[in-house]
Structure 1
Amino acid sequence: MQLILASTSPYRKSLLEKFRIPFSCHAPHTDESQLEGETADMLVSRLARAKAESVANMLTEPGLVIGSDQVASLDGEIIGKPLNHNVAVEQLRRASGRLVRFYTGLCLFNSESKTCQLQIETFDVQFRQLSAEQIEAYLQKEQPYQCAGSFMSEGLGICLFERLSGRDPNSLVGLPLIALTEMLQQAGIDPLCIGD
């Protein structure tokens, strides 16, 4: 059964390539707007499934579709992708010296049986006290405007943190590989025994 990543994110693609399993990438058609009263965990759960189902509905042959979505939360308020410099400055200014929790929803959808496995991974990031100069220098160097929380932990963004805490650091990049391994094994695919 074909494996499809319901994402065009180069970061998620790069993570999935670690498994050395053939897969394709397809862009989901999903409205990612937050619904009224929706919490961070509810949002990422709904969107991960919606992305996977969106791509599954486009398939002409059976497949396992991976959907993932991520948001950050500070004091219970959802922090999304900044999309521009000014919002990124404000996000990092607010996060300075504080704990930000990341929620990543993961869905593995079987297009043949219409069943899904769904899980939410959390990951905590304790930010250093950041000066305005440090924030500006970081944003100029890395421009993480498409990343929830305004940083890329796989790059220079690691310098923004005092401490990271969670089950899977890949969650911060947007695709929890430990949880995905478990889901794939449950679906009959063991990354250790196939590929290459």
Structure 2
Amino acid sequence: MLPPIVLASQSTARRQLLEAAGIPYRVQPSYFDESQIQLTEPAQLVQKLALAKAEVVAAQQRDPVLVLGADSILYLQGEILGKPADAAEAERRLRQMRGQVGELYTGHALVDTGRGRRLTHYGLTRIFFAKPSDEEIRAYVATGEPLACAGCFAMDGRGSLFVERIEGCPSNVIGLSLPLLRHMVQELGYSLTEAWDP
């Protein structure tokens, strides 16, 4: 039987993905200090961060639950890009991204508190960016959207205007690879479809 799922994230996009897939959950942010983990390899970094967030929340549980932690970064031209610090950095970064191909990594971690098991994987999606004008970039930054996003754009928002195409899982770019999550839950011996109302 699928345990209750606890999302160790405040991400609206991740919540919307789970809701769209009919997966019940509750939110309990970890407030983990991401600066504690310094790695240069993107796949390792996102998995370590996702697991750290999940473990913080798992330690606070009394009843058996499945804690889901996640973290996303954009890897572009050999550089790891998280959320921009301010509007000026967002503008610089969006200009840097013009016409480039980036790799969006999302780390996924599940902690099964009932069985004492931990599992991590990552999703990878290649993103082919368009070439927005300086005026379009300034207009986008003025909306505030890129300031809250890893990689400085939201695929499920206005930022989708500046993506020509992607290779890989679409939901991974938004914050969770739902196919990967399904496989991970199965690896732990459960099924997400158990959560669907008949």
Q: TM-score, normalised by structure 2?
A: 0.91
In the TM superposition, structure 1's runs of 4+ consecutive aligned residues that sit over 6 Å from their partners are: none
State percent identity of aligned pairs: 35
Deviations 1:13-46, CA, capped at 9 Å, x for gaps: 1111123232111011312126455321111010
The 8 Å contact of residues 19 and 195 in structure 1, kept in 2 or not, is answered as no
Matches within 5 A, 1:26-105: 26-33=28-35, 35-105=37-107
- Would the aligned equivalents of 2:14 and 2:174 in 1 still touch at CA under 8 Å? yes
Over the aligned positions, Cα root-mean-square deviation in angstroms equals 1.6
More helix by share: 2
Taking the aligned partners of 1:36 and 1:54, their CA distance within structure 2 comes to 18
Q: Which amino acid aligns with 1:184?
A: V
Asked whether the equivalents of residues 34 and 43 of structure 1 are also in contact (C-alpha less than 8 Å), the reply is no
1:110 corresponds, among 112, 116, 129, to: 112
User: Is contact 1:98–1:126 with CA below 8 Å preserved after alignment?
Assistant: yes
What residue ranges of structure 1 are gaps of 5+ in the alignment?
none
Partner Cα separation in structure 2 for residue 160 and residue 177 of structure 1:
23
- Hey, what's the Cα distance between the residues in 1 that align with 2:87 and 2:112? 39
SS of match in other structure, 1:192: helix
Q: Which residue of 2 is the match for residue 165 of structure 1?
A: 167
Q: Which amino acid aligns with 2:176?
A: L
Aligned residues: 195
Distance 1:104 1:63 in 2: 22
Q: Distance in 2 between matches of 1:37 and 1:152?
A: 24
Q: Which runs of 5+ in 2 are unaligned?
A: none
